[in-house]
Structure 1
C-alpha cells in the first residue's frame, strides 16, 4: 500500500483543483503530487468524480484519490489556509506581477511551517475566473515557451509540486555510497602539489615538456586538473599512470587473448 506520510512542511500544503473537466487529469494530478510528497487534494465541483479513469491514471497514488475532498466552492476549499496562491497560464490586467514558481514555492514552504497553504489550479479550458483569483493572495505563472505555453493540468501541478519539494527539503538525504568515504574526499593541497611535481617530471622525461620552451604548459595543466577537481581515488589512479610510465611493467601478451602475465 502506498504510504501517504510526508515531511513537514509538505503536509501543510494543499493542492486545489477547480471544476476539473477530465477525471484522468485528477488521477494524473494525484500521481504528480505523491511523487513529490504532497498528499492533500481538494476538488471544487469536478465534472466527473469519483470516476474509474481518475483511479487508473493515478497509478499507485490511489490513496490520494481516496482521501481527496470534494467541495462546492473555492471558498470552502481554501478555508483555514493562511496563504493561497493561484497558478495562472495568462497575465491579468490587475494585480501584482506573478511570482516565479520557485519564488512562490519558497514562500509557500516558509509559510507552511506555521499554517496551511493552498495552491489553486483552474479548469483545463478556461483557468480561474477573476472572482476565484480574488480569493487568492498571490498568483504564480510557469514561464513556459511563449510560442506554445499550453501545459496539461497535471503537468502544471508537477512543475509546482517539484518546486515545492525543492524548497521544502533543501537537505534531502544523499543516496550515493561515495558520500563520507575517504577515497572520494578532495585531496589536500600538498597532495596536488606532489602530483603536479610528478607530472612535470614525467613530461620532461618523455620530451613532451621542453624546459627551454615550456610555453605555460604546466600552468594550463594545473588549470585543467583544478577544473576537473579529482578526488583522492582519482588522483591515485593518475599517479599510478605516471608511475607506469616512469617504471613500465613488461607484460607478455598471449596469443590466445587471455589475460597477460607480468614478467
Structure 2
C-alpha cells in the first residue's frame, strides 16, 4: 500500500501552484484574511485581489490567523481582466442565474475540472465577487464557466470566506485524487489551451469583423456576441487554433475594406 512518502505518488505541488483564487472588489478586509486562512488549510497559496475596498488592513492579518505569508504574497490588481490574463480556464462563483449564460458546475465538479486543467499545464482561476452583489455580468463574461454552491434555498446567504473554504476543500480533494493518477503529459505549446488574454483578443477582433461586414444589420450586437463567446469557449481552443481563426478574421476585414473602396 502506498504511503504519503511513496515515490509512486507524484507531488501535486506544481499543480496546486497553477491554481489561484481571485477575490473581486472585496469590501471587508476580514474576509480577505479569512479567505487566506481557508486557502492555507487546504494547501493552496495563490491569492489575487482585484480592487479591494480596504487593503492592506490590520483586520485582514488578524483574521488570517497564521496565513500572513499568503497575504504578504497576494497580488493586487485593478481589474479582473488583469487578474486572469494568463489563465487558460476561469470559473466564476455565482449564487444565482444571470443573463450571461455559462456552463454551470457544482463544487465537486468544479474542483475536478480546475485540477484537471492545471494538471495539463494551464493556469486556472476561481473567481469570487463582492459580498453584497457578487460578480457583475461584465465580469462573468470573462469567465469560461460558473460554479454554484447549492446552499439552503431558505437561507442561501453564504459568507465570502465560507464560499472560498468550500471550493478550496473541493480543490484539495481533487489534488489528493490526482496523486493516485498517472502524471499527464504536458501538451506541446501550440496545443496548449489558449490563454484568457489571447481569447479576449480574438473576441475583440471577431466583434470588429462582424461590424466591418455589417453582420448585425442595425441590431444590437450583444446577444450574438454572447452566443459566439459560449460557442468558442466550449471548443476549448488552443493557441494554434486561435492564430488560425484570427488570420481568417484579418482576411475578412481586408476584404471588407476592399469592398468599401477608397475612403472619401
TM-score bin (small chain): 0.5 to 0.7
Q: Which residue of 1 aligns with 2:170?
A: 163
Instruction: Report matched runs for 1:121-140 at 5 Å.
Output: 121-140=128-147
Report SS of the residue matched to 1:66: helix
> Which structure has more RCO (C-alpha within 8 Å, separation ≥ 6)?
2
Is contact 1:42-1:70 (8 Å) kept? yes
Does residue 1:59 correspond to 2:65, yes or no? Answer: yes
Mapped partners of 1:9, 1:69: distance in 2: 19
Is contact 2:93-2:127 (8 Å) kept? yes
Report SS of the residue matched to 2:105: coil
| Count of aligned pairs | 169
Mapped partners of 1:94, 1:82: distance in 2: 19
Q: Which residue of 1 aligns with 2:184?
A: none
Instruction: Report matched runs for 1:68-107 at 5 Å.
Output: 68-107=74-113
Report SS of the residue matched to 1:17: strand
Mapped partners of 2:178, 2:32: distance in 1: 30
Structure 1 runs not aligned, ≥5 long: 174-263
State the shift of 1:94 in Å.
3.8
Q: Which moved more, 1:23-32 or 1:88-97?
A: 88-97
Mapped partners of 2:12, 2:61: distance in 1: 21
Is contact 2:102-2:144 (8 Å) kept? no
Report which of the two has the higher share of helix.
2
State the shift of 1:93 in Å.
3.7
Report SS of the residue matched to 1:170: helix
State the shift of 1:171 in Å.
6.5
Q: Which residue of 1 aligns with 2:154?
A: 147
Q: Which residue of 1 aligns with 2:45?
A: 39
TM-score, normalised with respect to structure 1: 0.62
Q: 1:96 to 1:45 in 2, by over 3 A?
A: closer
Displacement over 6 Å in runs of 4+: none
Q: Which residue of 2 aligns with 1:118?
A: 125
Structure 2 runs not aligned, ≥5 long: 1-10, 181-264
Q: What do the CA deviations read for 1:176-218 (whole angstroms, capped 9, x no partner)? A: xxxxxxxxxxxxxxxxxxxxxxxxxxxxxxxxxxxxxxxxxxx
Q: Which residue of 2 aligns with 1:13?
A: 19
1:23 to 23, 26, 29: 29
